[in-house]
Amino acid sequence: MAKAITPRSEDYSQWYLDIVKRAQLADNSAVRGCMVIKPYGFGIWERMQRQLDDMFKETGHVNAYFPLFIPKSFLSKEAEHVDGFAKECAVVTHHRLMNDPNGGGVVVDPSAKLEEELIVRPTSETIIWNTYRDWINSYRDLPLLVNQWANVVRWELRTRLFLRTAEFLWQEGHTAHATAEEAVEETLRMQDVYAKFAEEYMAMPVVKGFKTANERFAGAVDTYTIEALMQDGKALQAGTSHFLGQNFAKAFDVKFSNKENREEYVWATSWGVSTRLMGGLIMTHSDDEGLIVPPKLAPIQVVIIPIPKPKEALDAKAKELMDALKARGVRVSYDNDDQKRPGFKFAENELKGIPVRLGLGQRDLDKGVIEVARRDTKEKSSVPMEGIVDHIVNLLDEIQDNLFQRALKFREEKTTRVDTFEEFQKVIEGDKPGFISAHWDGTSESELKIKELTKATIRCIPNDAPEEDGVDLISGQPSKRRVLFAKAY
């Protein structure tokens, strides 16, 4: 057997890396900070992509593709935007290599220097809004609802597979609207789409809220977010949707003539989720035995293992069962490698988080039953072969639901209301780290003071935070509603 996974209780961060590597999701590459997404990990990401893409299309969006490179001068046009990204840009300066005349191998050709440096896109607002200037003339061209699936690069110093990498995969929606109201509506619509995706497909409960000024996207008027709570009590920003006002329209001079034939600047949104979601998926559900994948996203939902090993009668039965399951849309595979023992296969399939395992043995078959093991609870049961397909289809739904309910219960247990800074510290440093719901006076001073003292940040002001009188934990100034604090990834 391969070496065990580090238990979560011992070292959460090592546990995470062990899962990513041992379940064959991703690995570090030879290029600093860039990851290789391995086939099994990519299979999960593909299902996420497909589902999100369907949801974007249902809400009226179309896909397009914009250049990888952004001229340096474009990035500089929106002042806050360039401040936010300048420190982490991969810069292309030359367009040719040559043989070193001094025999030093292949070197950059100094005569092939670009007139203007190109930035590998860290996000595409600038190149897209420069393009929208040509696409938008009249109110009849609006709204423009475009999404792009792409790779982006942000030169991070401290990287962690999926959660923070120099290159990552994502989608970025960029929409243009005639009015501020419509743009805000779109921003919220996409926050809803993200929340629905996270909860119904990833089985990951999220809080919908909006960011404080300090935590906003560079160039946004408002940033809406979905925040999830990981098993170690740290929050994960899982997706953001930005109302950009007219900032990029002004920076790139994008105007439209309205119904009264007057020129106005266009209103914008942008929104994105990335391969970071893979990190959220892992840290919401998995355990010390390995990954747990919710059935809706699992590349393989059911694995059949012959016991003690493949032979003709079992193979035939497995094929019959697979056909019946496939006909119901279940993704099923048969692990008929005769070089490995069942126990080894059980562990391997647990490690990969396959939701349901079927142990197919002759003795059981003679009794008309089959062993069904579920990954989420590790329960095993002997189930009659008659009606087995219905049983499994229902079980997959049950597992999907159970994973969500379990994560929701966890989050509720780890969300604490506090009313003094002392309590705040006790909770965050103690054995119950998680979301802290507390009053805040709306000032940057109080926000940054708490961050300095505890490393916790305001994750969001929940969209539905009820009005309630209270006082700021630091300043004692009045507050109208509670916000959510946590340490975060």
Binder of its own copies out of 54, 88, 253, 320 (CB under 8 A): 88
The one-letter amino acid at 342? P
Say if residues 235 and 223 touch (Cβ distance below 8 Å): no
Q: Determine, following the binding rule CB under 8 A, whether residue 29 of this chain makes contact with its own copies.
A: yes
Which residue number, 9 or 339, has a Cβ lying nearer to its own copies?
A: 339
Q: Determine, following the binding rule CB under 8 A, whether residue 43 of this chain makes contact with its own copies.
A: yes
Segment interacting with its own copies, rule: CB under 8 A, options 104-112, 304-312, 357-365, 437-445: 104-112
Length in residues, the chain? 489
Q: Determine, following the binding rule CB under 8 A, whether residue 120 of this chain makes contact with its own copies.
A: yes
Tell me the angle at which helices 388-413 and 276-285 cross, rounded to the nearest 10 degrees.
90
Binder of its own copies out of 71, 143, 295, 462 (CB under 8 A): 71
| Residue the block writes with tokens 């929208």 | 132
Q: Determine, following the binding rule CB under 8 A, whether residue 95 of this chain makes contact with its own copies.
A: yes
Say if residues 290 and 5 touch (Cβ distance below 8 Å): yes
Q: Determine, following the binding rule CB under 8 A, whether residue 20 of this chain makes contact with its own copies.
A: no
Q: Determine, following the binding rule CB under 8 A, whether residue 39 of this chain makes contact with its own copies.
A: yes
The one-letter amino acid at 53? D
* Count of residues interacting with its own copies (CB under 8 A): 63
Binder of its own copies out of 72, 309, 317, 481 (CB under 8 A): 72
Binder of its own copies out of 11, 13, 60, 98 (CB under 8 A): 98
Q: Determine, following the binding rule CB under 8 A, whether residue 86 of this chain makes contact with its own copies.
A: yes
Which residue number, 65 or 382, has a Cβ lying nearer to its own copies?
A: 65
Cα–Cα distances in angstroms (integers) from residue 97 to residues 18, 114, 116, 230, 363, in the given order: 39, 13, 18, 46, 67
Say if residues 399 and 420 touch (Cβ distance below 8 Å): no
Non-local (6+) Cβ contacts of 431 within 8 A are: none
Question: Taking phi first (over 0 means left), then psi (-120 to 50 degrees means alpha), and beta for anything else, what does residue 355 get?
Answer: alpha
Segment interacting with its own copies, rule: CB under 8 A, options 38-46, 276-284, 355-363, 472-480: 38-46
Interface mask (CB under 8 A) for its own copies, residues 157-176, using x and -?
----------x-x-------
| Residue the block writes with tokens 């990969």 | 352
Segment interacting with its own copies, rule: CB under 8 A, options 150-158, 231-239, 394-402, 424-432: 150-158
Our measurement of the distance from residue 114's CA atom to the centroid of its chain's CA atoms, rounded to an integer in Å, reads 36
Helix H or strand E segment including 482: strand 482-486
Binder of its own copies out of 6, 51, 108, 465 (CB under 8 A): 108
Q: Determine, following the binding rule CB under 8 A, whether residue 94 of this chain makes contact with its own copies.
A: yes
Our measurement of the distance from residue 32's CA atom to the centroid of its chain's CA atoms, rounded to an integer in Å, reads 22
- Rounded CA separation 344/80 (Å): 54
Cβ at position 257, least distance to its own copies in Å: 15
Interface with its own copies by CB under 8 A: which residues?
27, 29-31, 34-39, 42-43, 46, 62-76, 82, 86-99, 105-106, 108, 117-120, 127, 130-131, 134, 140, 146, 150-151, 153, 155, 167, 169, 339
